[in-house]
Amino acid sequence: MTHDDLRIDGDRLLRRIGDLAAIGPIDGGGSCRLALTDEDRDGRDLVVTWMHDLGLDVAIDGIGNVVAVRPGRSDGPPVMTGSHIDTVRTGGRYDGNLGVLAGLEVLETLTERGIETEHPFAVAFFTDEEGARFPPDMLGSLVYVGGMGIEDALDITGIDGAVVGDELDRIGYRGPYPCPGPAPHAFVELHIEQGPVLEAEGVTIGAVTGVQGISWTEYTVTGQSNHAGTTPMHLRHDAGFAAAGIVTHVRELATRMGDRQVATVGRLELHPDLVNVVAGSAVLTVDLRNTDEPLLQQAEADLAGYVADLAAAEGVEITSRSLARFEPVVFDERVVDTVAATAERLGRTVSRMPSGAGHDAQMLARVCPTGMVFVPSRDGISHNPAEHTDADDLVAGADVLLQVMLALDRADLGEGAPS
């Protein structure tokens, strides 16, 4: 039986988005809830309370992923939705939060209307999707699908020296459920686009075809601190100069490669960071992304060659360590088609597009048929408190999510991971 007339309660969804955004508030209406901080704990507690209030069966696993399940007629793998509620330091109120709260709204709507599904339905939030405090990004969902061992994940040290396992214990979210977790019947994630495409096209729904490849590297430059006034230029081994060279090279590299290549230096620390001292050392990060794996490898090789030449020319040592490396992901065509057909059936404009941002869905795609629903971001802004999506679009996205999950519940998707 289809429930094409079924719609979520938009006011309740918007209210919960506001309630969650009020935890870890920052100027401009956004939130700062870095993974496993007190603010993250408080956000988790609020969402888990809502899950319990709905009568869902809430499971917390060893990396702190939270999965809440509404029973179906069968006991098999659930149709799952979800995302994340941790944020970057300059987080908006929709990145991740929309997907979790819309999932909660879907389950509450089904319960309110007394609708029984074939499969159980689940809504999850995954730990440390941002990877901003503890790299890599999508850490929780990566462990959930078996892409990283739980012990390796628990040992990760963050940018502030904290350790994942200790922080999970401290906030009370190292749960008893095993990792990896059980593969869902299917997974679909609602998320803001975080880019300018849908708005520019005047389209409401994105049927996401996949996620681009991600390469994060941390560089440590070791030179020689020296006096800014007395040291002749040709005798310097200036870690600050070398770091600045990497910053300008990655911009030049992305510009030269063009098309979808992007490159970012988001973190840059000099030591001793004083006006009259030639920097003795520097730590910086480079984020390279491309939808095409060979081109991403080409960008990595170009940068590695530049860094080696730079180190020799400046007489500094430059070491590197990978913080994250995920190849591009293509979502299951059947799920992408379901998203597009559902949006059209609901009278919404839709276009197919890849995701520039990483998402938990790219990890779930390893173990089950997976897709994503996008809604537009105003001016394409995200990872910024000015992040905004119109209320009508938020509700439209949640209604599409509801109907896609019902369609996946009825679909025979076969066993195991998709082809």
Please give the residue ranges that form the binding site for ligand HGY (CB under 6 A): 129-131, 137, 357-358
Question: CA 361 to CA 370: how far, in whole Å?
Answer: 7
Residue ranges of the alpha helices (H) in 346-416?
A: 361-364, 391-410
Q: Least distance from C-beta 191 to Mn ion, angstroms?
A: 6
Q: Least distance from C-beta 102 to ligand HGY, angstroms?
A: 18
Q: Which residue pairs, CB below 8 angstroms and at least 24 apart, start in 226-235?
A: 226/277, 226/278, 226/280, 227/276, 227/277, 227/278, 228/275, 228/276, 228/277, 228/278, 229/276, 231/278
Residue 131 contact partner, candidates ligand HGY, Mn ion, none, CB within 5 to 8 A by sort of partner: ligand HGY
Residue whose Cβ sits closest to Mn ion = 96
Q: Least distance from C-beta 2 to Mn ion, angstroms?
A: 30
Q: Least distance from C-beta 98 to Mn ion, angstroms?
A: 9
Question: 178: Cβ–Cβ under 8 A, 6 or more apart, which residues?
Answer: 61, 62
- Between 278 and 339, name the residue whose CB sits nearer to Mn ion: 339
Q: Least distance from C-beta 359 to Mn ion, angstroms?
A: 6
Residue 137 contact partner, candidates Mn ion, ligand HGY, none, CB within 5 to 8 A by sort of partner: ligand HGY
Q: What angle do CA 266, 270, 275 make, to 5 degrees?
A: 125
- Between 96 and 369, name the residue whose CB sits nearer to Mn ion: 96
- Between 137 and 314, name the residue whose CB sits nearer to ligand HGY: 137
Strands (E), 223-346: 226-227, 262-264, 268-271, 277-278, 281-290, 317-326, 329-330
Element (H, E) at 67: strand 66-70
Would you give the distance in Å from CA 397 to the centre of its chain?
18
- Between 66 and 323, name the residue whose CB sits nearer to ligand HGY: 323
- Between 121 and 144, name the residue whose CB sits nearer to ligand HGY: 144
Sign of CA dihedral 71, 72, 74, 78: negative
- Between 318 and 324, name the residue whose CB sits nearer to ligand HGY: 324
Say which DSSP state 189 is in. E
Q: Least distance from C-beta 287 to ligand HGY, angstroms?
A: 7
- Between 358 and 397, name the residue whose CB sits nearer to ligand HGY: 358
Q: Least distance from C-beta 230 to ligand HGY, angstroms?
A: 43
Residue 96 contact partner, candidates Mn ion, ligand HGY, none, CB within 5 to 8 A by sort of partner: Mn ion
The CB density around residue 352, as the number of other CB atoms within 10 Å, is 13
- Between 131 and 371, name the residue whose CB sits nearer to ligand HGY: 131
51 in helix, strand or coil?
helix
- Site residues (vs Mn ion, CB under 5 A): 95-96
Would you give the distance in Å from CA 223 to the centre of its chain?
35
Phi and psi at 263, nearest 5°, equal -150, 135
Residue 358 contact partner, candidates Mn ion, ligand HGY, none, CB within 5 to 8 A by sort of partner: ligand HGY
Question: CA 357 to CA 276: how far, in whole Å?
Answer: 39
Q: Least distance from C-beta 324 to ligand HGY, angstroms?
A: 8
Question: CA 245 to CA 93: how far, in whole Å?
Answer: 35
Strands (E), 103-212: 121-125, 186-192, 205-211
Residue 409 contact partner, candidates ligand HGY, Mn ion, none, CB within 5 to 8 A by sort of partner: none
